[in-house]
Amino acid sequence: MKTSLATVAALAVALGAVAAPAFGPRALDVAELQPLVSGGDPAEALRRIDAALEHDPDNARLLYNRGVAAYASGQFGDSLVAFDRAETGGSRKIARLARFQKGNAEYRLGDAMRRNNLDETIAHWKQSLEDYRDVLKESPGDEKTVANHEFVKARLLEILMRDAAKHAKAAQDPRNSTAEKVDHLRNAFDKYRDASQIDPRSQEAKDGEKQSREQLAQALAKEGQRLANQPLQPRFNPREPALPDYDTRPLEEGVGMLEDANRLVPEQPEIKKDLDQAKEKLADADVQRAKRYMELEERTPWAREKLAVLRMGRELTEKALDQVQNYKPAEETRDEINRRLAQVHEDEGDAQSQLAQHANLEQQAMSLSQALDHFQQANDLQPAQSQLPPKIKKTSEQLAKALDKLADKLMQSPKGQESLEQGIARLEGADQALNELQGLQPSKETQAKSEQVSQQLDGMRQKAAQQGQKPGPDGQPQLVPGQNGPGGQMVMQGPPMDTRPRINTPGMKGEWNSRAMNAGKDY
């Protein structure tokens, strides 16, 4: 083991000399640096390479050798950054060498974390194997790569099997809570499964995976059923203190645990039966909560509040139908909520239409636009209502006339003096009105007006930019003192090239339905 481990370290240094040609007019004699790297002063080699990189920051060969020097200095994270950049920007040969060295650096990073964070170690060693496999796809049978791959594979299998056995044993401790037992069994299952994938010939890994899978499923099912059978507890609703509500979170977690148990052992009908019962209980609870939102809507005077409350109720019915397809109580409640939503939209559309009759041109266009939106939403919810299509047609025609008049008004320059900023705002209003009009009633005349306004706007914005003013909130670049490049042009900032890439950092798993199963590291 120690011999193989030393080989991994030595290979990274040795390969630095392989890809070490001159580097153009500011050539760096890499041959002179090799004794520094091999003789115990890689920091000095790193300093010289960094100096050369200041003049040629994208040179793949320099970047590769920077990775070698950083590796020899024990800066494995920095070496990964350098190798990654060398791989993407270099020749095919340099890319292959960089991939190999990334495998070495991943191993070293994982080894440094072994005592404090085993999941991080596993993550880096798995990535190391992937890097070696990428090299072997291009260079099958490469002796150094094969040797390193087999060495890391053996080390990884060793810690996976050892840690899996430790968790499997801990799960049997009667002093553990159910949550602790589930956590230990999940860890054992994950690591036995990884071990069997890395070495499909390992019968010990296969047996461990099978046994931990079954034990984990039973523990999840037991705890999931316990949570699902708990009575729902009242929960304070800050929106409406007098309106009772229930906390469904324990029930939701119970359903998630039963779903995960059923996924682990789908051949066990008792778990599926318990899951179906828990889902129906959760669906019924969501329907009851939706009905309470309907009660709240009846006491709410404002249209906006009514719409918000009813939409929350509808979300609960959709959630119930996700749990139990074709669940009749949920479908009936959803249909009633949609009917109420449509009525609120229609009433609000009527109110906005009335408001438009006594408003100025700008307010008239705004009110008619809102009325049309309400009528269309009502029609989407209740397409069988015969009174809605005529209202949509009438409002659309009224809005088109109002927008046409408004655009003509805004296209005319005022008689008094107008600032450049005011002119831009006026034409932006005309442009918006014409765009909305073109969407309602497309015509060549409207298109021509829109093009005319766009040309005028471009001219005004260029003039504003030349004067150092902000051209307006239309998403165009704004010239700000101190942030311009040569000639007053915007400097587009990109991500820094020397930022360390994401290197298989462990995170929360998202493949399971319960928090208990998603609580571990996805190494």
Residue 479: per-residue pLDDT: 30
pLDDT tens column, 192-230? 999 999 999 999 999 999 999 999 999 999 999 999 999
**Residue 233's beta-bridge partner residues?**
247
Residue 40: per-residue pLDDT: 80
pLDDT tens column, 10-36? 333 333 433 332 333 334 566 778 888
Least confident piece of the model among 181-190, 472-481, 486-495: 486-495
Count, residues in the chain: 523
Confidence of residue 478 (pLDDT cuts 50, 70, 90): very low
On whether the CB atoms of residues 283 and 334 are closer than 8 A, the answer is no
What is d(CA 224, CA 253) in angstroms, rounded to the nearest whole number?
Answer: 7
- Backbone phi and psi for residue 143, each to the nearest 5 degrees, phi listed first: -60, -45
pLDDT tens column, 60-83? 999 999 999 999 899 999 999 999
Closest CA to 251 of 323, 179, 328, 311: 323
The percent of the chain in helix, strand and coil, each rounded to the nearest 5, is 75, 0, 25
> What whole-number percentage of the chain has pLDDT above 70?
84
CA angle 359, 362, 367 (to 5 degrees): 60
Mean residue pLDDT of the chain comes to 85
Q: What is the DSSP letter of 468?
A: T
pLDDT at 482 over 70: no
Confidence of residue 518 (pLDDT cuts 50, 70, 90): confident
Question: 446 Cβ partners below 8 Å, 6+ apart?
Answer: 404, 434, 437, 438
Written in H, E and C, the secondary structure of 266-305 is CCCHHHHHHHHHHHHHHHHHHHHHHHHHHHHHHCCCCHHH
pLDDT tens column, 437-447? 999 999 999 99
